[in-house]
Amino acid sequence: MTKRNKFMAVLSTMVLVSCGALFLGQKVNAAGEGKISGTVKLDGTAPHMRGIDMSKDPYCVKANTATPAHLQTVEVGQNNGLENVVLYISEGWTGAATTSTEVPVFDQKNCMYTPHVLALDAGQTFKVVTSDQTTHNIHPLPNPMTGNIPWNQSQPPGAAPIEKSWKNPEVIPVQCNIHPWMHGWHVVVKGPYATTDSSGNYTINNVPPGNYTVTAWQETYGTQTQKVTVAAGKPGAADFTFKAK
């Protein structure tokens, strides 16, 4: 290699590296840009969550002897915080659909879905796994008119994970026909999202400055919206309260 060639090689490498650094730097900036956080609460007495009769399948009965399973349509934690509420940006989001490379897991554990509500970005890959020693069939029921196509696959004990994604935003019920009490949700949205923890707290990350409408979705009480502004260095805040019926 001549001296000149060597110089060119070093130069082009340096240019490449610096471009990459610039590009990465921008990405890091974008990721750290802003967030929207708050708490979702229930106003009133939470409805009674009925126990589940699993006598159809002795395995399921045995798996739930320590802590009896109950319905999960309204889960209330500390200070009346509402769990499993999905928060997402319903207006004002202009970014790409798939912002997350994370692959969330939807587990069939003790004949229940964990998590009960799985929030997803349109196009985001998720994994369906089974931790149970009984056969499940995983059967999401989107409306075929939305462009999301229903499918139905079996997962016997020890079955390999199933990797899937949903094309369009939609609230999709998921069921197991073998265990009819097993009922969960895939809440597919466009852009960043968050799901409340057991105290009703949430944080939507990766939100650049701007004016947004945030929607809170709860499977029993429906949706609520609020206008939120995220400014540079000033995160947005939105608390929601659902009234017990």
Partner 1 sequence: MRTRLRMWALLTGALALALPIPSWAQLTTSQLQTWLNSPAASSHVGNITGNAKAGAAPYRRYCVGCHGPLGDGNGENAPYMQPPMFQQPRDFQLGVFKCRSTPTGTLPTDQDLFDAITRGFDRTNMPPWNTLSKQERVDLVAWVKHFSPRWANEKPGTPIVIPPEPEVTGDRIKAGRDVFARVQCWKCHGVQGMANGPSAATLTDDLGRPIAPFNFTDGTRPKCGDSDQDIYRIFMTGLDGTPMPSFADNIKPDEAWDLVFYLRALMSQHSKEKEMAKKLDLKPVDPNAPAGQQ
Beta bridge partners of 229: 211
Dist. CA 142–CA 101, nearest whole Å: 23
The answer to whether 58 contacts partner 1 (rule: CB under 8 A) is yes
The phi, psi pair for 32, rounded to 5°, reads -90, 10
Q: Report the 10 Å Cβ neighbour count for 225.
A: 13
Q: Rule CB under 8 A: choose which of 64, 98, 114, 134 binds partner 1.
A: 134
Kindly tell me which of 35 and 139 has the beta carbon lying closer to partner 1. Answer: 139
Q: How far is the CB of 217 from partner 1 (least distance, A)?
A: 21
Kindly tell me which of 116 and 179 has the beta carbon lying closer to partner 1. Answer: 179
Task: Answer for the pair 14, 216: CB distance below 8 angstroms, yes or no.
Answer: no
Residue with tokens 């696959």: 153
The answer to whether 157 contacts partner 1 (rule: CB under 8 A) is yes
Q: C-alpha dihedral over 60, 64, 68, 70, to 10 degrees?
A: -50
Q: How far is the CB of 10 from partner 1 (least distance, A)?
A: 45
Q: Rule CB under 8 A: choose which of 2, 160, 243, 245 binds partner 1.
A: 160
Q: Rule CB under 8 A: choose which of 179, 204, 216, 236 binds partner 1.
A: 179
Give the H/E segment covering residue 15.
helix 3-31
| Residues 5-24 within binding reach of partner 1 (CB under 8 A) | none
Task: Answer for the pair 37, 201: CB distance below 8 angstroms, yes or no.
Answer: yes
Task: Answer for the pair 185, 173: CB distance below 8 angstroms, yes or no.
Answer: yes
34 alpha carbon, distance to own chain's centre: 19
Give residue 13's identity as a one-letter amino acid code: T
Q: Using the rule CB under 8 A, give the single segment among 14-22, 146-154, 204-212, 232-240 that binds partner 1.
A: 146-154
Q: How far is the CB of 177 from partner 1 (least distance, A)?
A: 3
Tokens of residue 137, six digits: 């069939």
Q: How far is the CB of 105 from partner 1 (least distance, A)?
A: 17
The answer to whether 150 contacts partner 1 (rule: CB under 8 A) is yes
Kindly tell me which of 50 and 243 has the beta carbon lying closer to partner 1. Answer: 50
The answer to whether 84 contacts partner 1 (rule: CB under 8 A) is no
Dist. CA 186–CA 166, nearest whole Å: 9
Kindly tell me which of 103 and 149 has the beta carbon lying closer to partner 1. Answer: 149
Kindly tell me which of 20 and 150 has the beta carbon lying closer to partner 1. Answer: 150
Strands 136-140 and 153-155: antiparallel
Kindly tell me which of 177 and 229 has the beta carbon lying closer to partner 1. Answer: 177
Q: How far is the CB of 233 from partner 1 (least distance, A)?
A: 41
Q: Which residues bind partner 1 (CB under 8 A)?
A: 56-58, 133-135, 137-139, 141, 144-145, 147, 149-157, 159-160, 162, 177-180
